[in-house]
Structure 1
């Protein structure tokens, strides 16, 4: 059986000062069995110039440009449309990863019959998330996976960047990020994916560095953000209960 290959989707918007570190961390991966798709969401700084230079240098990097700014969900959806590998993961354009990030996920999917795998992460201050926890890993059922995804703390949570997914599950079920949400769109995606997946492997080994910037949209408290959180939570609730209702009918 051929080994799995991974696509990494990077969404980028006005991150010219950060994205070189992001891409360099991906270039430095010990396992080269991956492709990199970078989606520039119509940046107004020189983000596109920076990523074009990487595209010219490496034939496994593909750059997609949005004609107008459409948000992180639309950027990730554009990336998903271009994926032609067995597996896919996501990295934000101002974050970075450890050199064995790719090898970790590919190793799990090549060794086990799983649909979702997670790793741990460092927070914006470079500190280990839940540093008091010892190494924990293993298989969990769907209920536990969803429980960990919707928790407001822990090493799993609703992020997409510390998880790897099977492309077939996403594409066969027309799964995508909801473009009317600017916050918690990733948690909605993860819960929807989890109801379609069957086998989960959770690990808290920290391989991702999450960088939170003061000018990030997610840090601004606005009426729109409050609305997004409420709407996202409603959709998570409906997805879980809709799935449970279907299970009872079966």
Structure 2
């Protein structure tokens, strides 16, 4: 197919239970001129068989790439390299999209566009984060994320492929937390505007097993990712964005992940020990912003144990 408008990249690893439904949702688009690139990252189940069967019956242009297991970032990067579309879209192998996903995203004019999503956990659906504006400069959009006024997931965006390829933007395979938001925030820094749709077209499926403690304290590695991103912005001459990372985004990431560990009953002393090892107390103290959140941070830094006991008591009272 010539002049492909959109490439949908789907990394797959042992997703036999879900990949059929995911592909059905992709193939059922009310949009023409797109390709599907599935990168099987060394699956050991019958994912590849399901993929080939589904796609071989479709009239949509597609590629199925099989590689030895090397992680989701390498799989997405391979998909980027194989893509031919004017724009790129990412869909995870256990999620699904509505039939108007691409038509809501594609306008052929802006460098980026964004739709809304909901998290589906059993029968429960989360509340979408609607945005009042219909067009936002990329710089303002980045600032909103760094202030966590508009947190988003990287697969909510459609990316102009030229920006990704001309600037050699890729997912970092050295990390398992935060590599996707780093990809998006780097890409956005080279663009002009983001078109916003409040249509919910992406369903992120939260499986029971995905809530299990799996990677221990690697969640804190997002701090290093944001520090690297601050350096990246500094080199671009965007010191205001670099400052926002240090004084807002990093402290909020530390505090949010710390509370995640507490909520999931990680040992208090282990959490504190890991935070000291990574010098996260110093990085927390650099927060500048909302006075209510600043008070929480100060309370914790003053006496972590008392903060933890108070937090635990409050948590238990609403469980």
Under a length normalisation based on structure 1, what TM-score does the superposition of the two structures give?
0.85
The DSSP-based 3-state class of the residue aligned with 1:8 is: strand
The CA RMSD measured in Å over matched residues stands at: 2.5
Please list, as runs of the form range in 1=range in 2, the aligned pairs for 1:87-166 lying within 5 A after superposition: 87-106=87-106, 108-109=107-108, 113-125=109-121, 127-130=125-128, 133=130, 136-150=132-146, 152=148, 154=150, 157=152, 159-166=153-160
Q: How many residues align?
A: 236
Q: How far does the alpha carbon of each residue in 1:55-102 deviate from its partner, in whole angstroms, 9 at most, with x for none?
A: 322351211111x21111101000001111111110000000011001
The DSSP-based 3-state class of the residue aligned with 1:188 is: helix
Q: How far does the alpha carbon of each residue in 1:118-169 deviate from its partner, in whole angstroms, 9 at most, with x for none?
A: 00001133524347x5x63411123321123445574x51x22111011111
Query: Which residue of 1 is the match for residue 65 of structure 2?
Result: 64
Pair 1:10-2:10 in alignment: yes
Query: 2-side partners of 1:209 and 1:77: how far apart?
Result: 23
The DSSP-based 3-state class of the residue aligned with 1:191 is: helix
Pair 1:208-2:209 in alignment: no
Residue 218 of structure 1: CA displacement?
8.8
Q: 1:245 to 1:120 in 2, by over 3 A?
A: closer
Residue 27 of structure 1: CA displacement?
1.1
Q: Which structure is larger by alpha-carbon Rg, 1 or 2?
A: 2
Query: 2-side partners of 1:100 and 1:44: how far apart?
Result: 32
Query: 2-side partners of 1:100 and 1:45: how far apart?
Result: 31
Under a length normalisation based on structure 2, what TM-score does the superposition of the two structures give?
0.68
Query: 2-side partners of 1:10 and 1:217: how far apart?
Result: 22
Is the Cα contact below 8 Å between 1:128 and 1:206 reproduced in 2?
no
Give the unaligned 5+ runs of structure 1: none
Residue 235 of structure 1: CA displacement?
2.2
Q: 1:43 to 1:206 in 2, by over 3 A?
A: same
Q: 1:148 to 1:207 in 2, by over 3 A?
A: farther
Work out which structure has the larger RCO, using CA pairs closer than 8 Å and 6 or more positions apart in sequence.
1
- Structure 1 residues 178-187 or 212-221, which shifts more? 212-221
Q: How far does the alpha carbon of each residue in 1:169-208 deviate from its partner, in whole angstroms, 9 at most, with x for none?
A: 1111111111111111111011110111112222332110
Is the Cα contact below 8 Å between 2:116 and 2:128 reproduced in 1?
no
The DSSP-based 3-state class of the residue aligned with 2:84 is: coil
Query: 1-side partners of 2:162 and 2:225: how far apart?
Result: 24
Give the unaligned 5+ runs of structure 2: 241-319
Query: Which residue of 1 is the match for residue 233 of structure 2?
Result: 240
